[in-house]
Amino acid sequence: TVFPILDSLDPQGYIMYRLVRDATRFVDGHHVKDLDALNRDLSKVIVIDWNANSIKMHPENALKIPRWTGNDDDTSLYDLAAFLKTILTTNVEDVREVLNYYRQFENPLAAFRENQRKLLQQMQEDETHKAQMESTKALTSRWAPSFLRSH
């Protein structure tokens, strides 16, 4: 079953409801995830699947990820865990806004990973710049008094 995977993704138990196939509706030959049946605030609900047919009732709440093909190098679950943790820790008011942004990408988790890499790089550059400015400021303040003294 999927529950051991979900437990490893969410060891703290933040995910309150885990719905699997038995919670779907069978529509036009497909198991469809119907979020209306949850009776939850949909601004806080994300439905994850690789199959567009499974999430067609609520595309605004959907994160469509690539299907796992058995590749041992696949990092999708790690990326998904980081994505969900970022949404949680940044207190996103409406997850659908985040999902709408990532919907434009063929692989939203790869796009998220790249955005995180760029953010980390920018933060490191900002820290380096700040350290250089502090160093320059310290050097300037050390030499400035000797230039201002009259001889």
Domain for residue 138, yes or no?
no
- The C-alpha atoms of residue 15 and residue 10 are separated, in whole angstroms, by 7
pLDDT value for 68: 84
d(CA 151, CA 133): 30
| 71 falls within a domain | yes
**136, part of any domain:** no
pTM: 0.71
Full domain range(s) for residue 93: 3-107
* Mean pLDDT for the chain overall: 86
The CATH number of residue 13's host domain is 3.40.50.1000
| Residue entry with tokens 């696949």 | 74
The answer to the question of residue 30 being in a domain is yes
The pair of structure tokens assigned to 94 is: 């409406």
Predicted local distance difference test score (pLDDT) of residue 5: 78
Give, in degrees to the nearest 5, the angle at Cα 118 between 114 and 119. Answer: 115
Decide if 125 is inside a domain.
no
114 in any annotated domain: no
Q: How many domains does the chain have?
A: 1
On the question of pLDDT at 37 being above 60, the answer is yes
Give a yes or no: residue 146 inside a domain. no
In a domain, 82, yes or no: yes
pLDDT at site 139: 64
pLDDT of residue 146: 60
Residue 1: pLDDT band (50, 70, 90) is low
State yes or no: pLDDT of 58 exceeds 90: yes
- Give the mean pLDDT of 37-43: 89
